[in-house]
Structure 1
Amino acid sequence: MSRLRDLLEPGRLTVIPGAPNALTARVIEDCGFDCLYVTGAGVANTHLGVPDIGLLGFGELVTHVAAIRSAVDLPLIVDADTGFGNALNVRRTVRELERAGADAIQLEDQTFPKRCGHFAGKDVIPVAEMVAKIGAAVDARHSADTLIVARTDARAITGLDDACARANRYREAGADILFVEAPTSEAEIETVAARVAGPKILNLVVGGVTPMLPEKRLAELGYSIVLHANLPLLAGLRGMQDALNLLRDTGSVDESRIATWSERQRLVRRAEFEELEARYATADAEVRP
């Protein structure tokens, strides 16, 4: 059984932060989390400097996943948005992301171009079309331990009842984990927990439409995963703004409020590379005439 499947044991709630890049992934791993979420919004924001409105390309996402996979050993849940097209595109998306190191691949039922789940102006595709995409994803994966996450954004368009019905239909189509995006109240969070079968994700977005409930309550309701997809990004932005505003206004740096040089080098594992450099330099010297 995969480590990610282990996290889905009934009665267990796993808190998963989001990583937009390999260094953030290292920080998440270093802080002791059991899994991380490769956030499409975060990659779009940090790599391109654009909002989460479907501008991130397939190749850009695969490159980021491969880099993160090389940096950490944690299971990766990868946000693949709408799968970058129809069912055939989804098939290729799953194959390439699995090869790049994804342990789970999330697909959503928005129309293309998609929007952040907490933005207005979204729309969803017909249920039958999404079912076909899920079927293609299930068929495409090489390992049964590569999980398929099916997300529905129907709550904001056709209502909570339809969102729950869609989620259950997606499970019947083969999805391993279900994700009803953007419930707007504690009562709606409870409704999703009661009506949607199997492992479920709740996405808690600071500034979004879903209330921030305590972990204990979410565990009682039966959620398997609570995502904090963009918390590291938001924290990093505030830290950069504070440090740079201070530098602009005073010409000084408050070293107590930033990471140290040694901490930075530890996270990028400079010592390991120095050891390798020394080893290979010695080996090179030994073979020279």
Structure 2
Amino acid sequence: MGNRVPLKQLLQREGIVVAPGCHDALGAKIIESAGFDAVYMTGNGTSASAIGKPDLGFLTMTEMVSRARGIVSAVDIPVISDADTGYGNRNNVIRTVQEYEASGVSAIHLEDQVTPKKCGAMSGIELISIEEHVDKIQAAIQARKDENFLIIGRSDARGTKGLAEAIERGKAYAAAGADLILIEMLESVDEMKEVARKIDAPLMFNYVEHTKIPNLTIQQFQDLGFKLLAYPLSSTFYYAKTMMDLMRTLKETGSTESFQEQMLKIHDYEKFLGIEKYR
């Protein structure tokens, strides 16, 4: 952890920072071993993996921070975490920032939904006012102790109030001092270009498969002007599908033999987890 390059420093370099998502420490270690510079802790995937429930605001702040702390301790790259709505009003946001910062997380994003929130890809999302979320962002900035701990202002307005409202909110959150702006669920390249043109702040993008978001490469996201790119649910989706296939096959055939070539061997698995450090 002592050699971790601050996310703020990575973002000052040329090019885009890519942060694949994970819902546990093992996933984070795999992401790091693949050579990525940062990792994103998904709230949706954490809700599924920790309590087996959809992303509807069931997890508490302390549950999320506990999972984040384990992920941070497992890797030497910055961890960016979903912090939902800050788990309440501006006072709750202050404690949220204090707890996430103490856990070693490098950045959190705060979304402008009502509490309890929903996954940004769901329908029926309700928003708080621009003024209330600006107040929460300002409270978050004042609460942090280290300027390297980044506050990302997120808006979920695109799906419910339209692009113009989402951009207005993004501009307001940038003016309030957010270090990056995240506009969820943009549906076209033209929308992405408009966001980049109208919001004068570093931009983050969450790429979620099987939504209206166009399929673009990392290079294309970079060319559009995004500075931080997360793939929040890719690994969770793949894990769930692979587990379903494995369990169905075991139930139907009574054997895992057809999957064994796709599995890590136990010694390789233990080596990856660093067992030699403890012998």
When normalised by structure 1's length, the TM-score is: 0.91
The equivalent residue for 1:143 is 146
CA contact (8 A) 2:5 2:77 kept: no
CA contact (8 A) 2:6 2:148 kept: no
Task: Output the amino acid matched with 2:140.
Answer: A
Answering whether residue 47 of structure 2 is matched by residue 48 of structure 1, we say: no
1:132-163 deviation per Cα after TM superposition (whole angstroms, max 9, x unaligned) = 10011001101011000010001112211111
Answering whether residue 261 of structure 2 is matched by residue 271 of structure 1, we say: no
**C-alpha displacement of 1:11:** 4.6
The equivalent residue for 1:262 is 267
1:231-283 deviation per Cα after TM superposition (whole angstroms, max 9, x unaligned) = 11111122222222222222222311112212321232222122xxxxxxxxx
The equivalent residue for 1:71 is 74
**C-alpha displacement of 1:7:** 2.5
**C-alpha displacement of 1:208:** 2.0
The equivalent residue for 2:253 is 250
Give aligned-pair identity as a percent. 36
Answering whether residue 75 of structure 2 is matched by residue 37 of structure 1, we say: no
The equivalent residue for 2:199 is 196
CA contact (8 A) 1:10 1:224 kept: no
C-alpha distance in structure 1 between counterparts of 2:264 and 2:233, whole Å: 20
Superposed, 1:102-181 pairs within 5 Å as: 102-181=105-184
The equivalent residue for 1:93 is 96
1:186-225 deviation per Cα after TM superposition (whole angstroms, max 9, x unaligned) = 2212211221222111111012231121222211111111
1:111-136 deviation per Cα after TM superposition (whole angstroms, max 9, x unaligned) = 11111111001011101100110011
C-alpha distance in structure 2 between counterparts of 1:94 and 1:223, whole Å: 24
1:73-121 deviation per Cα after TM superposition (whole angstroms, max 9, x unaligned) = 1101111000000001000000001001111111010111111111001
Consecutive unaligned residues in structure 2, runs of 5 or more: none
Q: Cα RMSD (Å) of the superposition? A: 1.5
CA contact (8 A) 2:40 2:232 kept: yes
Q: Which structure has the greater CA radius of gyration?
A: 1
Number of equivalent positions: 274
Task: Output the amino acid matched with 1:110.
Answer: Q
The equivalent residue for 1:286 is none
CA contact (8 A) 1:11 1:222 kept: no
C-alpha distance in structure 2 between counterparts of 1:59 and 1:7, whole Å: 28
CA contact (8 A) 2:15 2:227 kept: yes
Answering whether residue 228 of structure 2 is matched by residue 225 of structure 1, we say: yes
C-alpha distance in structure 2 between counterparts of 1:101 and 1:210, whole Å: 31
Task: Output the amino acid matched with 1:127.
Answer: I
Consecutive unaligned residues in structure 1, runs of 5 or more: 275-289
C-alpha distance in structure 1 between counterparts of 2:222 and 2:159, whole Å: 25
C-alpha distance in structure 2 between counterparts of 1:261 and 1:267, whole Å: 10
